[in-house]
């Protein structure tokens, strides 16, 4: 049965002090089926408190998003950067498992380096897979924006090395590179027929091709993505698993607009 998740990153950010304790009150006002937990760099010393809170609140965390800069370290390469990335990834995997997550979302490449040294990212994947499997979570590589090539090309390269790799498809990331329509093409049907795509991030985008100034995560309907076409496709292929909303819901004061997120949840439920 399809489950609509809300990213904790949509709720908690710098304007509200990255205060994870806000999840207690915010979760009561949201109509989603669970959460995708987003890990931040300044939470490593607070892991025990966070896991304890999640368990106490009995929050459903089907998906866990690895701290993004782990991918940046891998992209940069070098013994120290890779060592740090692997150490933090293992911590993230263990945390995901303790929260009861089924899937772990990874930016295999990230930051200014992005996919410039993709050989580093290809080489690192087996070690990440080994750690995620040991923790009992399904590793999903996201179609993260690139500044050298493009995410679809990078997916195909990874598939050539690792034929059983699993992915998470982000609508905004795809639209940024004008690659959203690639998912609908018959020649790419193997991505869902063979079970490579295991999860979707459903976000709108309002910019143009590789428009870095407008790389913002917008609520559904606030950009130009054709979601009617997207959800018609989702229904046609019979996908019936998890979606995550990542639309930034907090403003500059830290106030979180839960009504906006609930409208998105209701829209997706109606569409699927």
User: What's the mean pLDDT in 115-124?
Assistant: 98
Q: Tens digit of pLDDT for each residue in 168-177?
A: 999 999 999 9
For the chain, the average pLDDT equals 97
Tens digit of each residue's pLDDT (9 = 90 or more) over 218-257: 999 999 999 999 999 999 999 999 999 999 999 999 999 9
pLDDT attached to residue 245: 98
> What's the pLDDT score for residue 57?
97
Domain residues of the chain, as ranges?
A: 3-271
What mean pLDDT is predicted for residues 53-69?
Answer: 97
Residues 127-153, mean pLDDT to the nearest whole number: 98
State the SS3 of the chain: CCEEEEEHHHCCCHHHCCCHHHHHHHHHCCCCCEEEEECCHHHHHHHHHHHHHHHHHCCCCCEEECCCHHHHHHHHCCHHHHHHHHHHHHHHHHHHHHCCCCEEEECCCCCCCCCCCHHHHHHHHHHHHHHHHHHCCEEEEECCCCCCCCHHHHHHHHHHHCCCCCEEEEHHHHHHCCCHHHHHCHHHCHHHHCCCEEEEECCECCCCCCCHHHCCCECCCCCCCCHHHHHHHHHHHCCCCEEEECCCCECCCCCECHHHHHHHHHHHHHHC
pLDDT digits over 3-33, tens only? 999 999 999 999 999 999 999 999 999 999 9
Q: What is the pLDDT of residue 236?
A: 95
pLDDT of residue 108: 98
Could you tell me which of 69, 149, 70, 113 has the C-alpha nearest to residue 157?
Answer: 149
How much is the average pLDDT of 126-146? 98
Q: Rounded distance, CA 190 to CA 203, Å?
A: 23
pLDDT score for 268: 97
Cβ contacts of 185 within 8 Å, gap of 6 or more: none
Given a cut of 90, whether residue 61 has pLDDT beyond it is: yes
Mean pLDDT across 62-86: 97
**Correct CATH for 3-271 of 3.40.1000.10, 3.20.20.150, 3.40.710.10, 3.40.50.1260:** 3.20.20.150
- Averaged pLDDT for residues 157-165: 98
Note the pLDDT of residue 115.
97
Quick check: 1 pLDDT over 90? no
> Does the pLDDT of residue 191 top 90, yes or no?
yes
- Average pLDDT of the residues in 93-97: 98
Rounded distance between C-alpha atoms, residue 76 and residue 229, angstroms: 37
């Amino acid at each position: 049965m399809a489950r609509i998740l809300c990213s904790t990153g949509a709720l908690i950010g710098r304007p509200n002090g990255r205060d994870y304790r806000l999840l207690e009150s915010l979760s009561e006002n949201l109509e989603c089926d669970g959460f995708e937990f987003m890990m931040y760099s300044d939470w490593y010393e607070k892991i025990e408190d966070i896991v304890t809170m999640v368990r106490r609140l009995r929050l459903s965390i089907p998906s866990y998003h690895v701290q993004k800069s782990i991918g940046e370290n891998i992209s940069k390469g070098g013994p120290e950067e890779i060592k740090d990335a692997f150490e933090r990834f293992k911590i993230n995997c263990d945390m995901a498992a303790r929260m009861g997550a089924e899937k772990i979302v990874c930016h295999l490449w990230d930051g200014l380096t992005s996919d410039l040294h993709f050989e580093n990212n290809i080489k690192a994947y087996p070690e990440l897979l080994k750690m995620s499997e040991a923790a009992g979570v399904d590793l999903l590589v996201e179609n993260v924006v690139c500044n050298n090539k493009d995410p679809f090309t990078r997916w195909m390269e990874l598939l050539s090395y690792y034929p059983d790799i699993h992915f998470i498809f982000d609508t905004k990331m795809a639209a940024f590179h004008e690659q959203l329509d690639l998912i609908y093409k018959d020649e790419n049907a193997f991505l869902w027929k063979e079970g490579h795509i295991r999860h979707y991030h459903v976000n709108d985008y309002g910019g143009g091709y590789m428009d870095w100034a407008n790389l913002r995560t917008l609520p559904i309907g606030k950009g130009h993505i054709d979601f009617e076409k997207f959800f018609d496709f989702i229904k046609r292929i019979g996908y019936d698993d998890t979606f995550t909303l990542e639309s930034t819901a907090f403003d500059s004061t830290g106030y979180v607009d839960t009504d906006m997120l609930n409208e998105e949840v209701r829209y997706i439920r109606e569409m699927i």
